[in-house]
Every structure is written in structure tokens, then in C-alpha cells.
Structure 1
Amino acid sequence: MEIFGISLTEWIGYIASFFVAISFFMGNIIRLRIVNSVGCIAFIIYGVLIDSWPVIVTNAVIVGVNFYYLFIDKATHRVKADEVQP
């Protein structure tokens, strides 16, 4: 299947690239990690479609890191009272 002469597989790669690139413009780290994860998941799909294990593994690791910092590592990011600036 092609859209404007570009295969569906390539479109998925372009969409993945767009989300990863746009994530670097985010000022909010939580939003950055969410948008970056969307791009990485799209890259995993792209990697499966082109049968590229380096693309799959690299982006799966990045999604894992983003997941860790979004959902598991909440307690370590709490600000202590003596770190607050007036």
C-alpha cells in the first residue's frame, strides 16, 4: 500500500522520526518522555516491518527507560524542603 508514492512502512518511519524529533522541543520532561515513547513505539513497529533488530532493541530500551522514569522512579524526584529556592 502506498500513499503519495511512499510505502506504509516508510510512513511509519517518518511518523516515528517526527515524534522523536518533536519530543526534543518539549520543556516539560514528563511530556517529553511521553511523546518520545510514542515515537519509539512507532520505531519498534517500523523495525519489525523492516526486520531490523538494532532498531527494535534500541527503541525498546528507550521506551523502558522512559517508562521507568514516568511510573517507577516517582519517589526520588520529590523536592526536599532545604532545596526549595525562595
Structure 2
Amino acid sequence: MGGGNGAKSQQKRERNAKEAGKEPKSQLKSNAAAQSIQCDICKQTFQSTAKLPLLQQHVDARHSGKDFSTVFPKFVAA
């Protein structure tokens, strides 16, 4: 019959010991760098992959009465 959980536990301890020396990987810096679209009125940032409907929703909800090109003058639809 099969081995006990002792072997699995030992393997996991060894694997964790190897991984303990590595730095944790975080996406915070890359996510912050991706925030390239900015509202000129309230300065809220959006990721560079944001599409027109999302930005239009921001204009309608936060800056009603303002024109889209006034709020996001640098936005170019891809």
C-alpha cells in the first residue's frame, strides 16, 4: 500500500524552504504604471486598457453636463 503523509509533508517543507529565499512577486508597481488615462477634472486614473463606455460612464456619473472631450482631452479610441 501507499506511503504515509510523512513523505508528502517532508517534500512540502523542503519546497517551502526553497521558496522562502525568493522575493514575493507583486503586481502593484506594474498596475500603477498602467494607470495612464487621467480625468482632467477630478484626476482619477484609469488603466490604459479602459474602453470608451467605461470612460463615458465616469463622465455621466461624476461630471454630468461636461463634454467627454473636456474631461478626457488626450483619450484616443483604439
The structure with more radius of gyration: 2
TM-score interval w.r.t. the shorter chain?
under 0.3
Q: TM-score, normalised by structure 1?
A: 0.26
What TM-score do you get using the length of structure 2 for normalisation?
A: 0.27
